[in-house]
Structure 1
Amino acid sequence: MSEFDGYSDYRQNVETTWLCGCTEFPVLIHFCVSAPLLRWLWKNYQYVLAFYFAIQEINKDHHLLPNKSLGFQLYNALASNSLTLLNALYWLAGDHSLTPNYSCQTRSKSVVALAGISPVFSAEMGTILELYKIPQVMLAFFQLTYGPFDSTLNDKKQFPSLYQMATSDSSLVHAMISLLLHFGWTWVGLLVSDDVKGEQFNQAIRAEMVKSGVCLAFTFKLHETRTVYETIGIASLYDVSISSANVYILYSNIRSIFTNEHLGVYYLTLGKVWLMTAKWDIVVDETQHMLHSFHGGFSFSPHKGKIPGLNTFLKTVNPSRYPEDFHFRHIDMLTMSDSSYLVYNAVYAVAHALHRVFLETIEMGFLEDAAQPLILPWQLHPLLRTTQFTNNAGDHVSLHKATPRQAHYDIHNIVNFPAGLQIMVNIGKFSSGSGRDQGLVIKEDMIEWPVAFKETPTSVCSQSCGPGFRKMPEEGRAVCCYSCVSCAEGEISNQTDAEQCIQCPEQEYPNTERTHCLPKLVTFLAFEDFLGMALACMALVLTLLTVMVLGIFVRYQDTPIVKANNHTLSYMLLISLLLCFLCSFLFIGRPNTATCLLRQITFALVFTLAVSAVLAKTITVVLAFKAMKPGRTMRRLLVSGAPNAVIPICFLIQLTLCGFWLATSPPFVDTDAHSEHGHIILLCNEGSITAFYSVLGFLGSLALGTFTVAFLARKLPDAFNEAKFLTFSMLVFCSVWVTFLPVYHSTKGKVMVAVEVFSILASGVGLLCCIFVPKCYIILIKPEKNSLKSLKKKVGPKRV
């Protein structure tokens, strides 16, 4: 491009410096760099050095372009749309006449234009170059914060003569997300340039954040203006500055960065970790402190090899060698930037394409015409599209973008020193695609964090939910903003930030912290337990006591008191009570199929036998006193033993109900893993609840009927009359089982079984004590009352 007003001396100096060393320039390359170099983009001058180094290497190479030399024309370009088009015409015409299709240049025209200011600059310049079919190789956009590739310039229909040296930065989003996840940063801010490329990056990283569980604290668009002195209102940055996010992603171009200079000077950078898309090839006045503000941030740049000989070349280029060039004393000579690397590759790409053109010309036997240029620009297009080579750094370079390749990014840590020195420390890399080196590699011990952080910073909307808790999203906020709630009963979470708690298996239960499932202890009413042992001892004592009472009745069976109370029914009642106490042992111990089938059936049958025996005794007492009145009916019933028939009738009814129970849905061994925390209750499932309550219902009805009969007979003469005792015994029996039902249903586990055992023992004790203890007292303690004389004495006065 032609010089911009005020910079003609600079163009003259550059051309004098770099063109005077060449004797002939049969092939020219047009190279454009941004202007002004002295103020903002002084590192652009380094690209000139990389460009010249590549030219020198190629001209010294005896295998690449032998007997040929590369020349070049170097121009500045100001990032202005109107001046870009105007200066392109100046260059093509050779003077300032701007005569269409006329050139006053006497030298050979350039065959390739290497440009690299911005995508807008390249597109505008390409509009003019397309008319002459001059290839345009995009070196880089070397914007401050974003990679060189631009998809809008990759449209061959619109820009058939434009080639981009840089590969697509589609993997940059994955690289950044990988770094965020590595440090657990899920709450980040995003600042992008307000242009097409910024919007593309915005959409791409948002989609990847959704997949990875990273949330945006805010999105701020950096507006672009035409002059670097125009700034947006400071107040508009306030909302960004108060964000709770400690990590910001910056994706912008140079115009946006300068436009929002206050962003770095006053508000956002200090105490924040910045993720930027490329090394900043700018310098600013010390009063601005922009670069210093980004201390501790990270820069992502495409991986580049080390070009042999470049550092040596840069060391030898100094003001003493080129005293007329006053720009060296500002230059960071030894820093190999991303854009310098692309400049180097672009020159070699053109050289390889030219080499193939000359080989084809020689093979076809065409002679060179001195009056014509050695090569026309349009002849390079077929060869540039397919140019592939390995540069001196060992990296593969190709202008053919059809086949996607694995992307490699170097990750640098920005370190600034008080003296103004800035270095980029390589602390890791990222590789996309497949392969052994795939993924993120970080050297954390080499990272220098911003001064506000003494250790690795955190950037989250909500603090992590530890094990035992789960995240509860907050309505109306991002998914990264949540509350921590404890896992529900029976659930655990064994990881940080669990979305849902995990239900423990039925055989396990959560620990107190609800972080692990522990195996439940199998529990039942065991003989080894204190409760089981106490009930077993009680049952054993009562069994022995019943045996003793039975022995006493057998021993004194010929005494009046035993005979008067129907000793046959007394024996039967004592035997049934003995079985009742013994059946308690079926409820104690580990349940199995046999005990589950027998416990309730045995309990129902033996208690039916006991209660029906009491009913028979009660009926016998009533008939005995009724038989004393005139008439033979009652006496005949009494003598025939009809009351005793109640026992088999009731027993058969109960046996039928139990048989139906066993035939339809018998009891079985079951487990209860929910009623008691940390335990699996081993129990007997009753099977058919209807059958179970039918059996209990019949037993209850029988007991209630017996109590009613005994209550009606309570006022009969009391000489050896047990009607009162039978009434009281049945009152105790009914009271126990009426109390049993609600207590039984309100308890769980072995306590429920213990309640039933206790009810069996208590009701049995009520019958034993109320009916037989008074008789044993007379037999053993008051034997004088156990005589016919005493019997007649009591009965006489109370004869009804």
Structure 2
Amino acid sequence: MAAAVVASIAAIVAVAASVVGGTTAQQLPRRETMGKHRINCELMADLVEGKETGLSLAGTSCFSTMKHRAHMDGDVMITGFFPLNTLGIDHSNSHASRHNFHLQFIFKNYQSVLALAFAIEEINKNPDLLHNMTLGFDIYDVEFRTWTMFKNPFTCLFGKYQIPNYSCMRESRSIAVLTGPSGITSDQIGTLLGLYRFPQLTFGPFDHALSDHNKFPALYQMAPKDSSIATAMVSLLLHFSWNWVGLLTSQDENGAWILAELKEEMAKNRVCVAYELMISTQDTSYIFKLMAVYNEINLSSASVLIIYGDNDSLIALMIFIEQIFIHGKVCIVNCQWDFTMKRKYFMLGSLHVPLIFTHHHVEVSGFTDFVKTVKPSKYPEDIFLARLWFLSFNCSDSESDCITWDNCAHDASLDWLPVHVFEMTMSGDSYIIYNAVYAVAQALHEMFLHQREVQTRGNRKQRVPSPEQLHTFLKSIQFYNRTRDQVIWDEKRQLEPEYDILNIWNFPEGLQLEVKVGKFSPYAPHGNQMSLSEDMVEWGIGTTGTPHSVCSESCGPGFRKSPQEEKAACCFDCAPCSENEIANGTDIEQCVKCPDHQYANTQKNQCFLRAASFLAFEDPLGIALACMALCFSMLTAAVLGVFVKYQDTAIVKANNRALSYILLISLIFCFLCSLLFLGRPNAVTCILQQVTFGVVFTVAVSTVLAKTVTVVLAFKATSPGRRMRWLLVSGAPNFIIPICTLIQMTLFGIWLGTSPPFVDTDSHSEHGHIIILCNKGSLTAFYSVLGYLGSLALASFTVAFLARNLPDTFNEAKFLTFSMLVFCSVWLTFLPVYHSAKGKVMVAVEVFSILASSAGLLGCIFAPKCYTILLVPNRNSLYGFRVKDSRRNKHS
């Protein structure tokens, strides 16, 4: 396999080298005609094969001696050097196969000759141009792009010399030279023409090397500069979402320029370069360069390859690509590559998809009809037309030893040829030639008008101008052609070209039909510059849809791009968006955070409005807590009613009726204050929640402390000494309640004056909800209030615990101790649970703690008393307790 590849490479390079490098054709001796209606068969075979014969057709049935050219006589001549033949490999066993290579006629290139003839005939028929002068042309074949092939035409162009097989004994009437499409041809010819200021018009692609006016002072490039080709190609990439492409250019000034333009435009649109290659045909290691290109292109993950160059610089590489290497790639090129001579050896389009950018031009009316009328009898001095006719219409007779005109179809026409062999519509190069001829005519016309103005009355004879004079007028020429397109010489003032996008249809195999699938116009509004019919594009064999060319697959909604280290920007990983962030498009670089009142869905691609969340009365949990608060408050009110009803009993009097009433009333408010925590918070309820809770619980706890102190003072009052008795009789314990409450209210005053509670929202704790809650404002003040309340509870518990075993009738110190133990336990448990809870649960924990601590005080202090009052009333007296004590003493 490797040997086959190397052999193929060698053959390809040999063909390319012969095309580009300049193999010299073998000069054959001149042969004479044999008669009026017949020609020697070997001689005609040489004509068909493209060898120099010195013969041409005259009329429909005879031949005459002529130069190897196409000629139309005129007062002023335009000379053209066109590549009409190329080298091909002959694999047959014929006599011609003794030579490794033979000439092949390029059918498509002959349209350039017809475009020149068509323009000149139009100008000669126009009475408003050139007046009494006519234009003519001489077309010479540039077979091998070598200097030896230019020797005879140049001698005829510049001097009076006897040349074998040519008659040049006359004054040269050539006024301008047309060259192209190869830049090499224009360069070689232009070097000599510039010495004489001989106008040279090139119709090939714009070449930056030819824009040096110091080296080529008389050279005019008719093709517009590809100033928008980079934008057009990148627009095509963006249309198909291709962001991972390779670049291949020729290693010359054009390649360096387009490479910089493409990379800049691609960087603007975030299209990455997978690899960039430059090929030089002058490199001695060219074959190894091709192998390196193979490795780079075929092994790359990029499915798109942009190729910018011309036939001369990249022809071998393009053949190489077609035959061996590129599989399933999309090649975007700047012009159509001519593989006509390789058609019998290569299957064009089967291995890759070509998308070709060509300069857009309008159709020239009348050209197609003109081509249909072209025949050898109409242009007897055009040997190229004669050769095309013989090759196309098989003008031969198997019974005859010679080829005669009589065997050709009389109604034969060029429109009989297939489209891929010969196009009837004007090509891009032909359109440039058409404009070039009109430019010369316009310059001549301006020159003649100028001559008339400066001529004296005695010298009215119109002289044929010199090429150097024409060069002076060509510098500033500017006009509108017959299709109303503006033609401007100065490349700095040239309009940006529009481009047609062509695709090669090769199904059925060998069709090679050029189909226009799109257009790019730099003058269209941004976003509408590219128009493309995707359904008309024929992709590679076996491809079911549009190819992809990306380094990394697109990140869908909900993901962001995460760059890969030390790789191009188009190579990335996809990372999911963070909490409450979304990405609602593809290839998003940064996720967008949802506003606080919205939340991200589970797919992280859309923000939804959050539902307000608070512990409402309608919620099941809210209903349960509200019912508990109301039930406990009514129960407390019932206990208060019992105490009021039995206020004169011993147990009520012994436990200080006034403090019991205050404690019961404060407990009612403790139960009811929990209702302030339910429902939608507002500024008033947020303040009332904390103030009411702090004040009523301070009153309740300070009342328990007062009751505990009262028990201690009552026991101490029975001991000798009057001070304790005076404190008990004077009601000093009752002052504990207002003093403690005043201190708590002072703390609340400072809290409300500095940083009071306010309505706040929490959008992070619950997914899809925005929690409406009361912010404590100053946490220091909040914990100061709780700390003060806790210190009162701790003091009450301590005093009650010390007085639990005092031997006194109706001693409630034990119940007070147990109640404060429950109270402290509830609130110590509350703190960690409260800080770990969120949203509704946090509020529910606070409400439950209020109800639990209040219920603990109610149950532990008043449940035993109510039991005694209601169920064992006989013990609710001093006599009952004394009987019980005496019985206990007897048993002991």
Q: 1:228 to 1:757 in 2, by over 3 A?
A: closer
Corresponding residue for residue 75 of structure 1: 140
Corresponding residue for residue 145 of structure 1: none
Q: 1:18 to 1:54 in 2, by over 3 A?
A: farther
Q: 1:163 aligns to what SS in structure 2?
A: strand
Corresponding residue for residue 475 of structure 1: 565
Residue deviations 1:671-691 (CA, integer Å, cap 9, x gap): 112222111111111111111
Give 2:81's match in structure 1, choosing from 24, 27, 32: 32
- In the alignment, the residues of structure 1 paired with residue 279 and residue 785 of structure 2 have an alpha-carbon distance, to the nearest angstrom, of 85
Q: 1:246 to 1:701 in 2, by over 3 A?
A: same
Query: Is the deviation greater in 489-498 or in 449-458?
Result: 449-458
Corresponding residue for residue 61 of structure 1: 126
Corresponding residue for residue 348 of structure 1: 438
Q: 1:581 aligns to what SS in structure 2?
A: helix
Q: 1:710 to 1:166 in 2, by over 3 A?
A: same
TM-score by length of 1: 0.92
Query: Is the deviation greater in 595-604 or in 310-319?
Result: 310-319
Give 1:9's match in structure 2, choosing from 45, 52, 56: 52
- In the alignment, is residue 675 of structure 1 matched against residue 740 of structure 2? no
Q: 2:341 aligns to what SS in structure 1?
A: coil
Give 2:468's match in structure 1, choosing from 378, 381, 385: 378
- In the alignment, the residues of structure 1 paired with residue 662 and residue 70 of structure 2 have an alpha-carbon distance, to the nearest angstrom, of 137
Corresponding residue for residue 343 of structure 2: 286
- In the alignment, the residues of structure 2 paired with residue 208 and residue 116 of structure 1 have an alpha-carbon distance, to the nearest angstrom, of 29
Give 2:830's match in structure 1, choosing from 729, 740, 745: 740
Question: Alignment identity in percent?
Answer: 51
Give 2:310's match in structure 1, choosing from 213, 232, 253: 253
- In the alignment, the residues of structure 2 paired with residue 372 and residue 547 of structure 1 have an alpha-carbon distance, to the nearest angstrom, of 133
Q: 1:39 aligns to what SS in structure 2?
A: strand
Q: 2:711 aligns to what SS in structure 1?
A: helix
Q: 1:239 Cα shift?
A: 2.8
Structure 1: gaps (5+ residues):
141-147
- In the alignment, is residue 51 of structure 1 matched against residue 129 of structure 2? no
Corresponding residue for residue 326 of structure 1: 387
Query: Is the deviation greater in 155-164 or in 576-585?
Result: 155-164
Matches for 1:501-520 after TM superposition, within 5 Å: 501-520=591-610
- In the alignment, the residues of structure 1 paired with residue 290 and residue 518 of structure 2 have an alpha-carbon distance, to the nearest angstrom, of 37
Corresponding residue for residue 177 of structure 2: 113
Residue deviations 1:43-83 (CA, integer Å, cap 9, x gap): 32221121122222222222222221112222223555654
Q: Which AA in structure 2 matches 1:59?
A: N
Q: 1:203 Cα shift?
A: 1.0
**Contact 2:208–2:253 (CA<8 Å) still a contact in 1?**
no
Give 1:494's match in structure 2, choosing from 570, 574, 584: 584
- In the alignment, is residue 190 of structure 1 matched against residue 270 of structure 2? no
**Contact 2:52–2:68 (CA<8 Å) still a contact in 1?**
no
**Contact 2:68–2:140 (CA<8 Å) still a contact in 1?**
no
Q: 1:366 to 1:43 in 2, by over 3 A?
A: farther
- In the alignment, the residues of structure 2 paired with residue 674 and residue 229 of structure 1 have an alpha-carbon distance, to the nearest angstrom, of 66
Q: 1:483 Cα shift?
A: 0.9
Q: Which AA in structure 2 matches 1:27?
A: V
Q: Which AA in structure 2 matches 1:658?
A: F
- In the alignment, the residues of structure 2 paired with residue 124 and residue 230 of structure 1 have an alpha-carbon distance, to the nearest angstrom, of 26
Corresponding residue for residue 531 of structure 2: 441
- In the alignment, the residues of structure 2 paired with residue 689 and residue 131 of structure 1 have an alpha-carbon distance, to the nearest angstrom, of 95
Corresponding residue for residue 298 of structure 1: 355
Q: 1:531 aligns to what SS in structure 2?
A: helix
**Contact 1:295–1:414 (CA<8 Å) still a contact in 2?**
no
**Contact 1:409–1:430 (CA<8 Å) still a contact in 2?**
yes
Q: 1:297 aligns to what SS in structure 2?
A: strand
**Contact 1:11–1:76 (CA<8 Å) still a contact in 2?**
no
**Contact 2:815–2:860 (CA<8 Å) still a contact in 1?**
yes
Q: 1:314 Cα shift?
A: 1.8
**Contact 1:265–1:288 (CA<8 Å) still a contact in 2?**
no
Q: 1:153 to 1:216 in 2, by over 3 A?
A: same
Corresponding residue for residue 646 of structure 1: 736
Q: 1:260 aligns to what SS in structure 2?
A: helix
Matches for 1:255-654 after TM superposition, within 5 Å: 255-261=312-318, 263-289=320-346, 291-293=348-350, 296-318=353-375, 325-328=386-389, 329=391, 332-365=422-455, 374-433=464-523, 439-654=529-744
Q: 1:636 aligns to what SS in structure 2?
A: helix
**Contact 2:182–2:312 (CA<8 Å) still a contact in 1?**
no
Q: Calculate the aligned-residue CA RMSD, in Å.
A: 3.0
- In the alignment, is residue 125 of structure 1 matched against residue 189 of structure 2? yes
- In the alignment, the residues of structure 1 paired with residue 554 and residue 730 of structure 2 have an alpha-carbon distance, to the nearest angstrom, of 88
- In the alignment, the residues of structure 2 paired with residue 333 and residue 701 of structure 1 have an alpha-carbon distance, to the nearest angstrom, of 105
**Contact 1:277–1:299 (CA<8 Å) still a contact in 2?**
yes
**Contact 1:621–1:723 (CA<8 Å) still a contact in 2?**
yes
Q: 1:779 Cα shift?
A: 0.7
**Contact 1:717–1:795 (CA<8 Å) still a contact in 2?**
no
Q: Which AA in structure 2 matches 1:677?
A: H
- In the alignment, the residues of structure 1 paired with residue 186 and residue 699 of structure 2 have an alpha-carbon distance, to the nearest angstrom, of 109
Q: Which AA in structure 2 matches 1:68?
A: M
- In the alignment, the residues of structure 2 paired with residue 306 and residue 47 of structure 1 have an alpha-carbon distance, to the nearest angstrom, of 15
TM-score by length of 2: 0.83
Q: 1:424 aligns to what SS in structure 2?
A: strand
- In the alignment, the residues of structure 1 paired with residue 279 and residue 160 of structure 2 have an alpha-carbon distance, to the nearest angstrom, of 39
Q: 1:319 to 1:108 in 2, by over 3 A?
A: closer
**Contact 2:54–2:68 (CA<8 Å) still a contact in 1?**
no
Q: 1:220 aligns to what SS in structure 2?
A: strand
Q: 1:567 to 1:96 in 2, by over 3 A?
A: farther
- In the alignment, the residues of structure 1 paired with residue 287 and residue 797 of structure 2 have an alpha-carbon distance, to the nearest angstrom, of 106
Q: 1:88 to 1:731 in 2, by over 3 A?
A: farther
Residue deviations 1:622-678 (CA, integer Å, cap 9, x gap): 111122222222222111111111111111111111111111111111111222211
